[in-house]
Amino acid sequence: MAKVEFMPVGRRGTCSEETSLLECARLLDVDLVGLCGGIGVCRRCRVQVVAGAVSEPTEEDQGAFAEGELGQGHRLACMTYPRGDVRVHVPPESLSAPQRTQVEGLEVQVQPDPLARAFEVRMTPPSLGRPVPDDRNLWDALRRDHGLAMGTIDLAVQQVLSTRLRELGFEAGVVVREGEVIAVDAPATRWIGLAVDIGTTKIAVYLVDMQSGAIAASAGLMNPQISYGEDIVSRIHHAGESAENAAKMQALLVDALNGSVASLCAEIGADPAHIVDAVLVANTAVHHLFLRLPVRQLGLVPYVPGIGGAEDFKAREIGLKTAPGAWVHMLPNIAGYVGADHVAMLLATGVSGREGVTLAIDIGTNTEICLNCSGRMKSVSCASGPAFEGAQIRFGMRAAAGAIEHVRLDGERPEIQTIGGGSPVGICGSGLLDAVAQMLQGGVIDATGRMLDHPLVRRRDGVREFILAERPGQEDITLSQKDIRALQAAKTAIRLGIQALVEDAGIKDEDIDRVIIAGAFGTFIDVESAIAIGMLPELPLGRFEQVGNAAGTGARLALVSREKRREALAIAELDGYLELARIPDFNEKFAAATPMGAPVS
């Protein structure tokens, strides 16, 4: 028997070595496409084996992939059998049901005032009487028609300029960024911008109309680096091992972004070559992996970033396909585990400018929390772990079709709600939160998290398990004591982060006027459940606000507004980072905060 793990969907299980990967996927409810019935004809069930050994490539594999691809583990799932434990990456195009990612966020209105500005020029073609060089000719027109001071032209633009100007009869649309021409094309070209929030697990991509600041198209996708580890520490370790690893991980991410951008452009009839500005946000580790910066020091005390400040560089430097001279702007990082995505979230939610006491929290594998107490702003980072993403949970999975996302325990059996409404195949983070809260309130577990005897609790191999969903003919979906403990550790980490900020500010929980919950996961949780298990402070529900992907909104704001870029810098500057590792009695506090619903001492 072999352990088979499908990424990025996050489903794991044990399969016989006589079971093809396509069959394994079906057994584990991974929606891998297979049109031909698994006979190697349709070539739709393409996967990549990223760890472990599998059977030799068949003739069908050789027909479907180039030699180099086979060497990198690309296979048809229907033709491939595990030879021991394997990890398999399923690209989005091979999934029949897309995963739920979060691109919707706050709608914040801002007056567009972008760094990259578009102009139309009508140049005088050169002649023997006026044999003016093309660069000079272009700047003369920009100066004459638009009052711009003489500037420069990006080298990559120069590499096409003379040819393109002649094709266009010396009439052109031109984009200028801080005195540098970064794009030239036909007059009336629709110039677009790109905003991206790269999460550890999920990525939100937005194309933005640079004139209006409106979203032209958006998409969510999985971070393909997940194949190198669900948690960021594994990825830091892998990237730190060799420059090749780091380069591969970066290329994987850049390819995924280019692919998504190309699809979105096709959707709206635009051209990636007309992307004239980009703002990217990510947590510090993902930010560094994306820029191929050293990451080793992020995993070692005192966990400092290589880049704290905002970073500007040419998109082509990292292989991002845009207009020839386009720049990328990355917002500043605050600390090794409080990154640009947190800054973007604070920017979008306006936390820094709010009066009173505001708590802003982005729950994930790593949870960042900021407390703005009458203008004094501090952030912490807590390692809440991957339980919310379904990892370390026996039937855990990400928020994809078939995941139990809500649970109520009123009658004899748990009432469950799945994503997409179909039969349950596993449980995702919000479902888990609900389930544990309901189990606590229903007396299935006690305050310490211990599972008690209960009609819905059965014993298997002497160990208690809670029956969440019976599935005739299939294994029931259950929660074990171990699953409860994983969630308990996560909630404790978050609770302690909040507590550290509250104590540092010298206030009490009830002084918090507003709790902003940002991020994909936070959008779907039941706040009552989160309060019930003691993850969030016990405050009137009216004080909570679930805002969706605020980091993505922050990236969009910084894309179209120079003022918002300056504000982001100010936020990073103002934010006093609080390092939990410096709190002397942290371990004692952790133990004290472990009980479910426990008020922290």
Residues that bind a second copy (CB under 8 A): 126-137, 152-153, 155, 158-163, 166, 291-294, 296-297, 301-309, 311-313, 317, 333, 335-336, 577, 579, 581-582
Q: Cβ closer to a second copy: 132 or 507?
A: 132
Q: Which one-letter amino acid corresponds to residue 440?
A: L
To a second copy, the closest distance from the beta carbon of 408 in angstroms equals 44
Q: Cβ closer to a second copy: 587 or 601?
A: 587
To a second copy, the closest distance from the beta carbon of 261 in angstroms equals 20
Provide CB contacts within 8 A for 461, sequence distance 6+. Answer: none
Q: Cβ closer to a second copy: 72 or 162?
A: 162
For 322, counting Cβ atoms within 10 Å of its Cβ (0-12 exposed, 13-18 middle, 19+ buried), the class is buried
Q: Cβ closer to a second copy: 85 or 135?
A: 135
To a second copy, the closest distance from the beta carbon of 307 in angstroms equals 5
To a second copy, the closest distance from the beta carbon of 297 in angstroms equals 5
To a second copy, the closest distance from the beta carbon of 139 in angstroms equals 8
The upper half-sphere exposure of residue 465, i.e. CA atoms within 13 Å in the direction of its Cβ, equals 20
Q: Cβ closer to a second copy: 133 or 443?
A: 133
Q: For the chain, what is the radius of gyration of the CA atoms?
A: 26
To a second copy, the closest distance from the beta carbon of 306 in angstroms equals 4
**How far is it, in rounded angstroms, from Cα 458 to Cα 337?**
41
For CA atoms 586, 592, 593, 595, give the dihedral sign: positive
Sheet with 367-373, side-by-side order of all strands: 544-548, 514-518, 357-362, 367-373, 376-382, 576-577
Q: Cβ closer to a second copy: 305 or 522?
A: 305
To a second copy, the closest distance from the beta carbon of 116 in angstroms equals 18
Q: Cβ closer to a second copy: 311 or 545?
A: 311
To a second copy, the closest distance from the beta carbon of 400 in angstroms equals 35
Q: What are the E-state strand segments in 317-471?
A: 327-330, 357-362, 367-373, 376-382, 403-408, 415-418, 426-427, 457-460, 463-469
**How far is it, in rounded angstroms, from Cα 595 to Cα 488?**
8
Give residue for tokens 């902003």: 516
Which residues pair with residue 95 across a beta bridge?
32
Q: Cis before residue 8, ω within 30 degrees of 0?
A: yes
Q: Cβ closer to a second copy: 16 or 162?
A: 162
Q: Cβ closer to a second copy: 531 or 569?
A: 569
Check: CB of residue 418 under 8 Å from CB of residue 403.
Answer: yes
Residue 416, phi-psi category: left (phi > 0), alpha (psi -120 to 50), beta (remainder): beta
Q: Cβ closer to a second copy: 266 or 304?
A: 304
Q: Cβ closer to a second copy: 86 or 293?
A: 293
Tell me the backbone φ, ψ of residue 453, rounded to 5 degrees: -70, 140
Name the pairing type of β-strands 202-209 and 215-222.
antiparallel
**How far is it, in rounded angstroms, from Cα 171 to Cα 173?**
7
Give residue for tokens 């029949």: 96
To a second copy, the closest distance from the beta carbon of 142 in angstroms equals 13
**Helix 562-574 × helix 550-560 angle, to 10°:** 130
SS3 of residue 594 by DSSP: coil
